[in-house]
Amino acid sequence: MPKKIDSGQESDWTPRFPGLSDAENCGEWDTGIPIKYKIRPKDEKYWDDFRGSPKAFVSLLAAQEMWGNRWGNHTGLRAFGKRSAQRLQTDLQEKLRSSDSGLRIIQLKNDAKNAVSGPVDFSQLFLAFGFFVILAGVSLSAMLFGFSMEQRNRQVGLFFALGYSPMRVKVLTWAEAGVVCLLGSLMGLGWAWFFGKGILAMLGGSWGGAVSNLQIIYAPTAQSIGIGALGSFCMGLFTLAWVSRKQSRQAPVALLNGGEFIVPCAGSEIKKPDWGRWFLVAIWTTAILLSIFGWLNQLPVGPTFFGVGALVLTAGLGGFFRFHKKTKHNVGEPKFLLQLDRRIGRKLIVVGILAVGSFLVIGAGAFRQKAAEDCSKLDSGTGGFSHILKTSLPLYDDLLGTEAEALFDLDPGIMNDVSLVSLRVQDGDDASCLNLNQAQTPPLYGVPLGQLNGRFEFVEGNWSALSKPIADGIYPALVDQNTLMWALKKKVGDQIPYTNGEGKNFKVQIEAVVKGSFLQGGLYFAEEHWIKHFPGRGGYQNFWIDVKNNHPQIVLNHLKDRLFNYGPETQSIQERLNRLQAVENTYLSIFQFLGGLGVILGTVGLLVVIMRNLWERREEYSILSAVGYSVVHLRELAWKENLSLVIWGLSIGCGAGLFGVLPAMWSGSGNFSLGGVLVFGITLLFLSAFFVSLAIRIGLKEGSIKLLSRE
């Protein structure tokens, strides 16, 4: 009979167990494990007298055979005598290490610094998004500065005639350009503040999906302001210096005459081999072959689109240049009027901006993700599953087994048409696009490979690639393509270090990649490897559920009710996919917005070019007016001439976009909408036509007799 124990004390025979050792009576036992036997009065009296003292003793070997498990086969050590206890303490301190129990030191400061770096550098991202806007702005600036230089040809020619060296004239021109660039950069700082605030306001509103609806504060630094202003100044100065280079190459006599373009006489041109035609043929052939190759080999949509589209854009702009270089005029039109309109360079700038802008907007729309029509397909992004069930505490039983049915009182009628896959989870940093921080150690999931064969679409490898270890301490793993590229910034064959439950290091090597799925955020490897490295983490906490009946919510509510004590949480897989796709679609919306802004700059450039051309040719319009042409007729001629620029630009850009998405349309992997392209094209056509009409109405008025004195 054990020795009686006073109330509030414990037995030294039994290890302390929370919820059991500190209970005043048997009715207060709360161990987290269901106890399904009746407490008798004599049991209660035994607890009051002897607490947790054992009622019987068996040999150590018998106890190990009956109760030994993966967590060990000893619950305590007893040392007799003070000297023996001291020796045991010394031996344990020398041989036991904290890492053996899974204890490890985490450098919180370093991890925090690495985490806030973020998988996406938003400064570089928006710089890339706004590259086309920057390019359009630089092109317009160069064109306007070129107009200014043309107006001053006679001044520069006079400098040369008086003996100024070309370098001295260049220095004067560059100094003037430097003042213009400096003033423009300083003015741009104020607009940059408004633009930055506006972008961040959009990220906190309609573009919130790109940053998981987090609040972002605009906090520019003196360094960022200085770098931006210096970069703008240098880029502008280089562009303006490049534009002015041609002026110093002309003869003083030509500059004194105004540097006007002289049309060569018919038959005076020397015929040269037409290499441009063959160059365009080669580009078109390459674009067609690349489209067919991308379709047959199922290449990624993005690189194929930009590769094919860039070739078609180049061919289209080259065709535009050749057409206007060799253009012939219709009978009945005033030849001298149209012959004087030979400014191919400025036309090419406007057409190029319109073409590239419309191409990028179409491309962003083509890449937009949409929900799969049939989520039950095994090779879709859902893997054929409908919902995810997560629990805060692990479950040790198969939810579809008879033991779980009895333990959790599950209704077999409700669970009849349900199939699920149970996963083991080692927690980590979410590596999906929903986490703006840089994931240091993504969650590691142990998956039963036999239940997943044939599910999901793979970019590289498959589930069987995870069955065998690559080498000692290195194990194969699977990851989603978006997580691999953007969050982890890794490639197939790269390794990621982990620490197992015993404090020892091991690595997982990426061997399989799933295409666009709900698996974003973690790494997956074989369940047997997971158990080997995390023996102390028993049970399952993640379940992929496939509800085959028409009442999935009934099944989910039943599971949540029966597993209430385990902290269940459910989510629709389609809902998760939509959230993940919303991030990508938001980035595409930003890209479309900035591309559209560039297109608007192109239409503004169109207005400037038209008004400049009309101003340069006001004498010729005055002659036509004097010989009987009405203003309405002159505007009609100008309308036909300038509207062709809009048609050329939109045709080249939209055609390149359509040609670029052909491989995706053939393979059925694209999300291209022909209706969206038509709406965009018609809208841009009307907008451009409005600017053309506005420019012609402002720039082309009644001719003046005074202007005829120059002719």
What mean pLDDT is predicted for residues 195-209?
75
pLDDT at residue 423 in the model = 94
Residues 6+ apart with CB under 8 A from 372: 380, 381, 382, 574, 577
pLDDT at 339: 41
**Helix %, strand %, coil % for the chain, to 5?**
55, 10, 35
pLDDT value of residue 102: 56
Q: What is the pLDDT of residues 635-645, one digit of tens each?
A: 888 887 778 88
What are 616-652's pLDDT values in tens digits? 777 777 777 777 778 888 888 888 777 888 888 888 8
**Average of per-residue pLDDT across 12-24:** 74
Indicate if the pLDDT at residue 428 is higher than 80. yes
SS3 state of residue 404: helix
Token code pair at residue 401:
């087994």
Name the least confident of 360-374, 480-494, 675-689: 360-374
CA distance 256 to 155: 7
pLDDT of res. 264: 41
36 pLDDT higher than 80: no
Say how far apart CA 558 and CA 228 lie, in whole Å.
58
**Of 598, 603, 552, which Cα lies nearest the Cα of 575?**
552
> Taking the mean position of all CA atoms in its chain, how far away is CA 266?
56
Q: How far apart are CA 8 and CA 3, in angstroms?
A: 15
Considering only CA atoms, which of 443, 404, 396 is closest in space to residue 422? 396
- What letter would DSSP give residue 72? B
Among 634, 625, 638, 648, smallest CA distance to 711 is for 625
Whether the predicted pLDDT of 311 surpasses 90: no
Asked which of 12-21, 142-151, 271-280, 439-448 is least confident by mean pLDDT, the reply is 271-280
Task: Please give the distance of CA 463 from its chain centroid, rounded to a whole number.
Answer: 26
Cα separation of 152 and 172, whole Å? 13
- Dump the DSSP string for 587-654: HHHHHHHHHHHHHHHHHHHHHHHHHHHHHHTHHHHHHHHHTT--HHHHHHHHHHHHHHHHHHHHHHHH
Contact 345, 688 (CB under 8 A): no
Please say if the pLDDT value at position 140 is more than 50.
yes
pLDDT at 612 over 70: yes
**Residue carrying the six token digits 């036997």:** 37
Strands (DSSP E) contained in 488-539 are 495-499, 505-514, 523-526
Q: What is the mean pLDDT of residues 41-47?
A: 83
pLDDT of residue 706: 56
Place of tokens 């197992």: 500
What residues form DSSP beta bridges with 569?
A: 390
Q: What is the pLDDT of residue 447?
A: 94
Give the residue, 484 or 360, on which the prediction is more confident.
Answer: 484
Q: Give the residue, 269 or 2, on which the prediction is more confident.
A: 2
Over 70: is that where the pLDDT of 366 sits?
A: no
Written as one letter, the residue type at 251 is: A
The three-state secondary structure class of 235 is: helix
Residue predicted with more confidence, 14 or 382: 382
Indicate the average pLDDT of the chain.
78
- Tell whether the torsion through CA atoms of 701, 707, 708 and 711 is positive or negative: negative
pLDDT in the model for residue 637: 81
* pTM recorded for the entire structure: 0.66
Per-residue pLDDT tens digits for 79-133: 777 777 778 878 877 777 666 665 666 677 776 676 666 556 666 666 766 676 7
Instruction: Count CB atoms within 10 A of the CB of residue 47.
Output: 19
* Mean pLDDT of the 2-14 span: 65
Nearest-angstrom CA–CA distance, 485 and 490:
6
300-304, 410-414, 476-480, 675-679: which has the highest mean pLDDT? 476-480
Between 205 and 262, the more confident residue is 205
Instruction: Give me the pLDDT at residue 337, please.
Output: 44
Tokens 């340069």 sit at which residue?
Answer: 616
Give me the mean pLDDT over the 603-617 stretch: 77
The average pLDDT across 175-192 equals 84
Residue range 187-211: mean pLDDT, rounded: 76
Report d(CA 339, CA 264) in Å as an integer. 10
Closest CA to 514 of 455, 474, 468: 455
pLDDT > 70 fraction of the chain, expressed in percent and rounded: 80
Give the pLDDT score at 619: 75
Mean pLDDT lowest among 149-153, 368-372, 632-636: 368-372
Average pLDDT over residues 120-149: 72
CA distance 378 to 618: 69
Structure confidence at residue 81 (pLDDT): 73
Residue-level pLDDT at 594? 74
* 8 Å CB contact between 525 and 464: no
525 or 194, greater pLDDT: 525
pLDDT in tens, 228-281: 888 888 888 888 788 777 777 777 777 777 554 433 434 444 555 556 677 778
Q: Which residues contact 399 (CB under 8 A, 6 or more apart)?
A: 408, 410, 415, 420, 422, 543, 559
Q: What is the pLDDT of residue 251?
A: 73
pLDDT, position 265:
39
**pLDDT for the residue numbered 340:** 39
pLDDT at 209 over 80: no
Record the tokens describing residue 227, joined without a space: 């770098």
Q: What's the pLDDT at 310?
A: 81
Of 477, 479, 443, whose CA–CA distance to 459 is shortest? 479
Residue type present at position 376:
S
| pLDDT number for residue 703 | 55
